[in-house]
Structures are given as structure tokens and as C-alpha cells.
A and B are shown apart, each in its own frame.
Chain A
Amino acid sequence: MTSILETAVRIEISETDFDVNAELSKMRVGRADIGAICSFIGLVREANLGSRVSSMTLEHYPGMTEKTLRNIVAEASQRWPLQAVTVIHRVGKLLAADNIVLVLVASAHRQAAFAACEYVMDFLKTDAPFWKQESTENGVHWVDARVSDTAALQRWNQN
């Protein structure tokens, strides 16, 4: 399988919000070969582990973040025939219900788009150097990594 074109991959770390429709338009412009686009949007959930989250601050490792996300997308494009991928992750201060992350995956058929979208999110969760600090009624604390995120990777090792 040939790798995805470098020009069809868009990786962005942003302090400002993203516009899902604008990103979909950018991905589709001039492309009649795309048959399916799968999107994932991660949001700031108010309730986390019994606390009420009013805001969170996201920190990242500039340079390594982009490199890691590019590698994840490259790996995904080795597994499925992908035509375009967009990953936008916000950093800085976010409020409850704000967007955190957008993943768009385009392919000729839906199966590849669905699977690759999940794959990119699963590896983003465990490999991309982002850290969340939550503000709740009980104070400010760094979010712990979840064992379930690491467990989610196992399905990708089996096929």
C-alpha cells in the first residue's frame, strides 16, 4: 500500500477553536476520489471522575507533538488506503463543552475511514505528548493517564 501524500496530511496545534465545516471543506476541495470522511471531535466533559470540571489547561511538547502525530498518521496510512487526514489539537485554557481535538479521515470507502479514525485517536491518546490539568470544585490537578487507553491499543496489534 502506498503512503498518504504529504500534502494531504494536515496537523495543527492551536490555541484557538477549530471550525469543523471549514476543515471538511479544505479536505474535500478539488477531490472527487474521496468516498467517505469519518470525523471525531473530542470535547471538554464537565463531569470527570466524580468532579465538576470548570476548565482545563492543556500543555504539550512543541516539536515532539507534531512529529508523533505525523508518525501516527503515516502508520495508519500503511494499514488503510487513506486519501487525506486532518488532526487539530487545541492547547491552552479550555472551558467545559469546548472542542479539544478534531480528527478527519478521508478514504474511498467507509470501513477504512472509520477504522483509521479510531486508530489515530487511540494512538494520539497514548503517544502524543499532551497533558491536561483540570480545575474542579476540589482544586487544580493534573489528569492521570488511564489504563483503558493503553488497553485500547491491543486490538491494533492483533491484525
Chain B
Amino acid sequence: MITILFFASLREALGVNREQFDCKLSSVTDVASLIEALRGRSAAFSEALAPTRNWRVAVNQEIANTNTPIASGDEVAFFPPVTGG
């Protein structure tokens, strides 16, 4: 199992801030395959995580990319570009 987090406008668009996800059931091994599995769920997920959308991903609280591997116990977060300060 991994933990998936969604923040800010992505959290609002998807109506979820946190979920547990079984990587084995969906053959998820990296960020790219996780996105594919999530986008297959619904139109909202498909649109929010489309490659053309300007989202960011972090694995275990470090900025990651679609090639970053994912293993059981990882924390994966999706969010829009940051706007603090």
C-alpha cells in the first residue's frame, strides 16, 4: 500500500485529500504507472492529471517525476505549482 495526497486546486477538483492505494492490484511501479491507474478512474482524474496540466508530484516529500519508482510504504503527493511567500 502507498499513501496518496492531493493538495490545493487538485484536492478540490478530485474531492479527495488522502487515500490508501494498493500498488500490486494495479501493477504500479513508478509515478507514470500510478498516474495511468488514477486517470483510468474517472473523467475528473483523467483531466486533473493529464500530461498537459501543470501539476507537480513528490515521492516521500521530495520533488519527483514520472520516472520516479514507487514502492510499498511510499507517500506520493500531487499538487499544483506552489504559490507561497
Distance from B59 Cβ to chain A, minimum over Cβ atoms (Å): 11
CB within 8 A of A42: which of B7, B61, B82, B85? B85
B58 within 8 A of A: yes
Alpha-carbon separation in the docked complex, A130 to B5 (Å): 14
| Binding-face segment, A24-32, A56-64, A78-86 | A56-64
Do A144 and B79 touch (CB < 8 A)? no
B83 within 8 A of A: yes
B69 within 8 A of A: no
CB within 8 A of B77: which of A61, A127, A144? A61
Distance from A155 Cβ to chain B, minimum over Cβ atoms (Å): 17
- In the complex, the number of residue pairs spanning A and B with C-beta atoms less than 8 Å apart equals 72
Do B8 and A59 touch (CB < 8 A)? yes
Chain B's interface size range is 10 to 19
Alpha-carbon separation in the docked complex, A89 to B79 (Å): 19
Alpha-carbon separation in the docked complex, A44 to B9 (Å): 20
A54 within 8 A of B: no
B40 within 8 A of A: no
Do A143 and B83 touch (CB < 8 A)? yes
Interface of A, helix, strand, loop or mixed by DSSP = mixed
B51 within 8 A of A: no
Do B58 and A64 touch (CB < 8 A)? yes
Do B61 and A145 touch (CB < 8 A)? no
Cβ contacts under 8 Å, A42 to chain B: 85
Chain B residue nearest to A71 in the complex (CB): B62
Alpha-carbon separation in the docked complex, A101 to B83 (Å): 12
A selection of 22 A-B contacts at a CB cut-off of 8 Å is A59-B7, A60-B84, A61-B77, A61-B79, A67-B61, A67-B62, A100-B85, A101-B84, A101-B85, A121-B85, A125-B82, A125-B84, A125-B85, A127-B63, A128-B82, A130-B83, A131-B7, A131-B8, A142-B8, A142-B83, A144-B83, A146-B83
